[in-house]
């Protein structure tokens, strides 16, 4: 009885294993997408149903909770403000990376050997959960940066109507936007710690301290915006006019960034365009030739 596995059978096993791996990956991605008919239905589900924690987060909380990775926690906190990844934890992200990396190792490196493709797939699977969270966090940060001129305008209007800076900040926190969530978190931090909201002398206010911590991942606009609001809160006289000028300054800065991004768009599209058009063309031409060369041997 011949127990040797033929080369074609071996290749079929690899193909089936790869198909199972990618099927699992597609199932995992699709399971993260939840549909609801309306915002009211989504809110009712959150109120009536218990949060479904995935097996990755359960294992991560059980075995990896002792490892605190600030980068993952910070990006995950920003990503959650969009309403996604609400049940994810930093240890769960780490557990996903370990499981995906091990799956890629046993399915590809063990079967195909050490090659550029097998190593790339394994490393890609390992870093995919982190970059998924980081990408969403960057999108949320961009949305907040885009809304800073609108927030400054709302604060100026509220103060011109006779309201205080605290009242204006409360109005911003009521906005049904991601920026509103961020300002609501700052007010909740002030209520929890009973510290003064604004700076006074050498004492840093809760609002400035919280925004500086949240902007530590590279949001100079948010840090500068919080610092200017903190300064204006102690002025009193002419505060609405100063806030209006702040809003105009952020609007000009945002328009300048948009203009710069539009000027660089052609350069940024070169590589995606080349991948989208040139790579399929190369595969269509080269793959049959490559198969015919292999069949000759």
Residue 120 forms part of a structural domain:
no
Separation CA 80–CA 51 (nearest Å): 14
Residue 139 pLDDT = 92
Separation CA 283–CA 2 (nearest Å): 37
Residue 283 forms part of a structural domain:
no
Residue 187 forms part of a structural domain:
yes
Separation CA 201–CA 241 (nearest Å): 23
Residue 244 forms part of a structural domain:
yes
pLDDT tens digits, the chain, 297 residues: what are they? 444 455 665 565 666 566 566 656 655 555 544 444 445 545 544 443 444 556 555 555 554 555 557 788 888 899 999 988 888 888 888 888 888 888 888 877 777 777 777 778 888 888 888 899 999 999 999 899 888 888 888 888 888 888 888 888 899 999 889 999 999 999 999 999 999 888 888 888 999 999 998 887 678 888 888 888 888 877 766 677 777 777 777 777 777 777 777 777 667 677 677 667 766 776 677 666 666 666 665
CA distances from 56 to 64, 78, 90, 106 (A): 11, 20, 10, 19
Residue 1 forms part of a structural domain:
no
What is the total count of domains within the chain? Answer: 1
Residue 66 forms part of a structural domain:
no
Separation CA 250–CA 221 (nearest Å): 8
Residue 182 forms part of a structural domain:
yes
Cβ(24)–Cβ(107) under 8 Å? no
Using only the alpha carbons of the chain, give its radius of gyration: 26
Question: For residue 150, what are the domain limits?
Answer: 142-262
Cβ(128)–Cβ(31) under 8 Å? no
Exposed (0-12), middle (13-18) or buried (19+): which is 270, by Cβ within 10 Å? exposed
Separation CA 73–CA 213 (nearest Å): 12
Residue 21 pLDDT = 63
Residue 174 forms part of a structural domain:
yes
Count CB-CB contacts under 10 A for residue 152.
Answer: 24
Residue 188 pLDDT = 93
Torsion angle in degrees (nearest 10) through CA of 64, 69, 71, 73:
60
Separation CA 40–CA 185 (nearest Å): 22
Separation CA 126–CA 119 (nearest Å): 11
Q: Which residue in 113, 13, 29, 218 sits closest to 5, CA to CA?
A: 13
């Amino acid at each position: 009885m011949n127990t040797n596995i033929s080369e074609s059978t071996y290749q079929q096993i690899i193909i089936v294993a790869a198909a199972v791996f990618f099927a699992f990956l597609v199932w995992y991605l699709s399971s993260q997408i939840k549909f609801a008919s309306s915002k009211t239905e989504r809110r009712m589900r959150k109120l009536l149903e218990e949060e479904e924690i995935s097996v990755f987060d359960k294992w991560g909380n059980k075995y990896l909770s002792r490892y605190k990775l600030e980068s993952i926690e910070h990006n995950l906190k920003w990503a959650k403000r969009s309403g996604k990844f609400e049940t994810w934890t930093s240890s769960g992200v780490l557990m996903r990376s370990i499981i995906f990396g091990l799956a890629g190792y046993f399915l590809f490196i063990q079967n195909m050997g050490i090659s550029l493709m097998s190593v790339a797939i394994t490393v890609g699977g390992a870093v995919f959960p982190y970059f998924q969270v980081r990408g969403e966090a960057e999108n949320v940060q961009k949305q907040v940066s885009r809304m800073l001129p609108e927030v400054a305008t709302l604060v100026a209007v509220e103060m011109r109507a006779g309201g205080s800076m605290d009242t204006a900040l409360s109005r911003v926190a009521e906005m049904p936007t991601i920026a509103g969530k961020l300002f609501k978190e700052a007010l909740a931090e002030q209520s929890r710690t009973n510290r003064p909201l604004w700076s006074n002398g050498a004492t840093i206010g809760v609002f400035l301290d919280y925004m500086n911590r949240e902007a530590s991942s590279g949001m100079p606009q948010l840090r500068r915006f919080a610092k200017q609001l903190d300064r204006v809160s102690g002025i009193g006289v002419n505060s609405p006019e100063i806030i209006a000028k702040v809003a105009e300054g952020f609007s000009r800065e945002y328009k300048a960034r948009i203009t710069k991004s539009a000027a660089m768009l052609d350069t940024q599209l070169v590589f995606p365009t080349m991948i989208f058009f040139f790579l399929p063309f190369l595969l269509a031409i080269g793959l049959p030739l490559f198969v015919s060369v292999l069949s000759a041997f």
